[in-house]
Structure formats: structure tokens, C-alpha cells
Structure 1
Amino acid sequence: MQDIQQIIDTAHEMADAARQVILPLFRTRDIETENKRPADFDPVTQADRAAERVMREVLARRRPQDAILGEEFGESQGNSGLTWILDPIDGTRAFISGAPSWGVLIGLSDGNGIRYGLIDQPYIGERFEGGFGISRLRTRNQEHPLSVRTGHELSHATLMTTFPEIGTPDEAAAFQRVSRQVRLTRYGLDCYAYALLALGQIDLVIEAGLQSYDIAGPLAVVEAAGGIVTDWSGGPAAAGGQVIAAATLELHRAAMALLLNE
């Protein structure tokens, strides 16, 4: 791609625009919230929709030739072969609870895979970036390289997922087989768990029931930091579903064997 720098600049402009509309609504008690799935609480707020709107406005101005897949407003066609995959607030349940573990997710696919992504946490001012030879964390005042940690066996690993009741009963049982073998399991951090994996703070993230916009940005960040992201069968994870992210190949293999009950 000839225009990599423009792509990177566009992604950061989208993340900046999302920050500006989300932050004034965070931790406000009268924020408008709807339930997208009455049978299973799946909230969406005015902040989710406002953030995706401004990101789409940036793309319309800077890169109208690119396609878009967004959680709130669906698909928009393009002719460049590139698709931006947007989750304006990953972790809306955390957002409406006032917890700062939600994030803005931006991923870029060229049709053959995810090539670039951001995990942005506006409230604490952290932006994790991966792809095109970049792997870094930007804070308000500094920039740090990202790198997964190595040398931990499964018995000394830290595992994260968002929901204790992960997926179906069979998926939950598979997760528990891994959880029983690691040193520490923690819950509830949404996309921020992948950021911590890329930062070298934890070793595994295992989830189920994801959509493509849940994983595109995190996948790029983790892989750029040296990690591995696949589905539970070892195949591509960009479409979502069952996802495992690991710091090392050894951890990935050990966890996969337990997930598949081999």
C-alpha cells in the first residue's frame, strides 16, 4: 500500500474524534441507553452511536474509497480493497457502569487479513497501536514499545476473559479446563485485556461469541507485539467467534489442547 502514513493518520484522527464525543458522556447518570437484544442485555448508548458517526465522517472526508464495517451502522461499500472495522465502544456494559475498561477499536483489513489496528482508552489516555511495522503504546506524555512477555509456562500464566459465563455451556467448560491449569484468571476487562497482553502484563485471553469488530483492532495490536491470535481450532480469528490470544506459541499450544480436550 502506497499510502500507509495517510492510513495511520486517518486512524488516529478517528480515535481523536471518538474521544471528543465519548468523554463528555462517560460517568454521566442520565446517558441514553437502549437494549439491542431484550432477551440478553446488550446495551447501546448515545456515546456509541455518536462515536461511530464521527469516525465515519473522518473516513468520508479522508478516505471515501474505503469500505466500512461498524457495529452500530453496519456496512458501507468501497472500491479500494480496504475495509475499516469499527467498534465505537467495546465494553458498553463497563462504560455504563463507570468502569474505564472499555475502548474504541479500529481495525483495517485488506481482504486477506487484518493489517493494522488501534485500541484506544480515552479516559486514561492510553492508545495501543499495531501494524505496518509499528507496535507501541502512546500515553498523554510518552510513547512505549509493546512486546508480549515470554518464558511463562501455562502453570504460571495469567488468563483473562470478559464474562465468567463465557459462551455456551460447552465453551464455558472448555475455558474452565484452561483456567484450572493457570496461576491466575481474571474477568471483565473487554478489549483492555488484549492491550495488557500486548503490553506484557498477562499471557492469555480466551473468549467466545465475538464479532469481527470486537477482535480486528486487538488482533493487530497483539500480533504486532509478538503474540498469536487464532480461533479455537488454530485458524484465522478475524471473523470473531471463538478467539484465543497468547503471548507465545508454547502457551497457545498448551491452551488449545485443553480447549479441544485433547
Structure 2
Amino acid sequence: MARPVRLSLPVGSRTPAHAPTPATWAGAVGVNAKELCPEGGTTKLLHFVRHAQGFHNVDPSVIRSAAGLDARLTPEGCEQCEALHRLTAELRPELVVSSPLTRTLQTAERCFGPQRALAAAPLLAVEDVRETVNFLCDARRSRTEIAADFPDADFSCCPHDVDPIWSHYEAIHGSQDDFPKLRESADLGHLAARARAALTWLAARPEKEIVIVSHQAFFWNTFNMVPGRANAHLPALYDFGGDQQLADWMCTGFANCECRSVLADFL
């Protein structure tokens, strides 16, 4: 990906006038992805979704503990998924991409499973769109364990059975007890590299309408890698085309189970 991805709002949609709440969608209702994203072009309709509420979101004590490893959804998080599914029931994505962590795969299946089935769209677990890896709640279980829990997901984009990112930082800093501070969030160049790899991969995919289920810190850090924002010291991943309202919206944090839909031109 040589240039930043140009983001814009689909015709007929707008940024919300209110603060995000769980299970909200600033949706592209009635938007026809085939009309907006013609074959042979570089434009895709992307639906960015943060996972629903996980136990680590409500109980800070599990964030650094073995009990919080690869944190799962709470009962309220499952209800949020049902609500977002109702809001997005008319979507027909051609591809659903998910972080390989359990909470994102749960969100992807609960929110978009029926839509995905109707469109015969694959669910791909992709290592490069996972959360910034700082604490045990951000580490994933082995691919073997997770794949057994999600037999409909394709894990071919997760070549390592053991979590490679957690292992990388554990080799540098030691265990969670040895080093309880930030890891990848203090190494944003590493995050930027894998986010750029994910965008390059998306650009090469044939699908035009794609759901991406990921995490708060991943979205916040990568959308803010633009001039004038918190991570402006890193090469820009996105270009908001001078639309300040769009930039403000995408650069603010996502609520649990919030979906934001944008057109992305992979120039």
C-alpha cells in the first residue's frame, strides 16, 4: 500500500450527531455497494466494528491475570450483538474479517452470521487486525483451541499456533508479572506495520463490501496515524480528504459493538 487509504462517507449516510452507544450503527442504509464500488475500481465499502462488551471491559482485575486471557464476551455483550444484528440485518457483506481473539470472533458470528450465510461470505481470522498487545486479555489462545471453538472460521491468515505477538514481547520484557506496563502501545511502529499489512491485504481482496471486527485501541491508534492527530509522528494510514467531521468521528473511540461504515479508496 503505497498511499494512505482515502475514506469518505457513502452518499446518504452521515456521522452521528450524538455520542456512540453500545450496538449503534451510523449505517449506510439503502447503500448499494455494487453501485458505489464498481468492478475493476479501487473503492470498497468497509464496516468497522468494535467487539461487544468483554469481561475485561467491566472488571479491570482480569486485564493482567490468567483469568482474563483472551477475554470473552459478557452476557450484556451477547445482548449488544443481538441488537447490532437487528440494525444490520439487511447487510450482505461479501467478506467478514475478524481479529483472531475470542471476543471478536464471538461478535462476528453473533452480529453477522446470518447475513454472512445468506451472502455465502467467508469469515476470516486475520492476525494483523487484532488488538494492541499489552496485557494478558490481549493475548490469544492457541490457534488450535480457538479454531475448535469457531469451526466456521478460516484461520489460514493466522499461520502460528502459539500467539506470535505476545511471544515477541514476552521475549523482550518477560511475563506479565515481570513487566505489567504497556507493550505494543509503547511500540506503535510495530502496530503501524501490521495495520499497513492488513490494509494492503484488504486492497488485494476481490470483495467490495467487507466487515472488519476489531478492537478499540487498534482502531483508535491506527485512525489517529494522520497529520494533526495523536499519532501524527507515524506515516499516515488514512486520508480523510479534508472532511474534518469525518476525521473527528473516525478518530474518536468506538463504543462496544459500534459499527461505522465508510467508503475506502485504495489509491
The structure with the greater share of residues assigned to helix is: 2
Higher relative contact order (CA 8 A, sep 6+): 2
The normalised TM-score by structure 2 is: 0.29
The structure with the greater share of residues assigned to strand is: 1
